[in-house]
């Protein structure tokens, strides 16, 4: 087996770590992979051209929702979301994100992966609502703590999608695993692979729900620490 084509993965990792242009990194990784696989130059260029033609409508699909979301934000979507969640009694950052995690993982398990996402849900709705709850319960938090809340909102979306979509039998990863195992002489059923994704998804939900519970505790502790530091500073003055 020729392992040299795996150098393309190294190119992607190094390029993203050094924060090079994403398009340039991907094209460079494709060229390195093709050359290491001993593809003729013309065949390599043809493969890159075919991939470009197949995905040329992708920018429209990605940019159109962003424009709509930007228009909604301009007309107060973020402020309305913060105002709504501030009126919900008993809501905390951890509880809000746990509910979103359950909804995201459940919808992804049904193949509805586009119902959430960072540009569609996290940035305009989930992160502002979580930040508003943190500010309501623990006023005066630092920007670092606010960034941690936003990061946890983004992580919640990632975890829900990643482990939820592995339950959907028509997901590409399940088809890939089934094909790989069959080529290796191991006969499997795609439905069986999908069912074994359920315990993993449940475990991921429980583990991240505990992390979100600890986030509530962290916010309370950080608020108490800042309040104590402020009181000591006032006493000195």
Which residue, among 172, 219, 216, 223, has the nearest Cα to 194 in the 3D structure? Answer: 172
d(CA 60, CA 66): 10
Sign of the CA dihedral running 51, 57, 59, 61? negative
Tokens encoding 120:
């569609």
d(CA 167, CA 161): 10
Tokens encoding 228:
């104590």
pTM above 0.95, yes or no: no
In tens, the pLDDT along 86-108 reads 777 788 999 999 999 999 999 99
Place of tokens 């979509």: 165
Which own/partner contact pairs does 192-198 have at CB distance under 8 Å and 24+ positions apart? 193/169, 194/166, 194/167, 194/168, 194/169, 195/167, 197/163, 197/166, 197/167, 198/167
Q: CA 132, 86, 102 angle in degrees (round to 5)?
A: 75
Residue 55 has pLDDT above 70, yes or no: no
Helices (H), 88-196: 93-109, 127-137, 143-164, 172-183, 190-195
Tokens encoding 109:
């398990």
Answer for the pair 167, 194: CB distance below 8 angstroms, yes or no.
yes
Which residue, among 130, 101, 79, 100, has the nearest Cα to 202 in the 3D structure? Answer: 101
Give the pLDDT confidence score for residue 232 in this predicted structure.
82
In tens, the pLDDT along 163-204 reads 998 888 877 778 878 888 888 888 888 888 888 889 999 999
Residue 22 has pLDDT above 80, yes or no: no
Measured CA distances, 9 to 37, 48, 162, 177 (Å): 13, 17, 20, 19
Task: Locate the domains of the chain by residue range.
Answer: 1-56, 58-236
Q: b/e for 18-30, b at 16 or more Cβ within 10 A?
A: eeeeeeebbebbb
Give the pLDDT confidence score for residue 236 in this predicted structure.
80
């Amino acid at each position: 087996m020729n392992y040299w084509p795996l150098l393309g993965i190294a190119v992607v990792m190094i390029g993203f770590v050094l924060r090079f242009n994403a398009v340039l990194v991907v094209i460079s990784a494709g060229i390195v992979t093709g050359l290491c696989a001993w593809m003729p130059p013309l065949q390599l260029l043809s493969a890159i051209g075919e991939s470009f033609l197949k995905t040329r409508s992708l920018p429209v699909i990605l940019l159109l929702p962003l424009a709509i979301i930007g228009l909604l934000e301009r007309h107060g979507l973020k402020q309305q979301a913060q105002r709504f969640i501030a009126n919900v009694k008993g809501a905390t950052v951890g509880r809000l994100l746990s509910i979103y995690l359950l909804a995201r993982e459940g919808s992804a398990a049904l193949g509805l992966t586009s119902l959430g996402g960072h540009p569609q849900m996290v940035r305009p709705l989930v992160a502002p609502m979580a930040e508003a709850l943190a500010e309501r319960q623990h006023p005066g938090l630092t920007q670092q703590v606010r960034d941690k809340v936003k990061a946890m909102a983004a992580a919640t979306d990632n975890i829900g999608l990643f482990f939820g979509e592995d339950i959907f039998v028509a997901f590409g990863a399940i088809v890939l695993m089934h094909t790989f195992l069959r080529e290796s002489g191991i006969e499997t059923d795609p439905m069986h692979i999908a069912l074994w994704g359920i315990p993993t998804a449940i475990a991921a939900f429980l583990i991240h729900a505990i992390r979100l519970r600890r986030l509530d505790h962290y916010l309370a502790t950080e608020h108490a620490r800042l309040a104590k530091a402020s009181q000591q500073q006032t006493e000195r003055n």
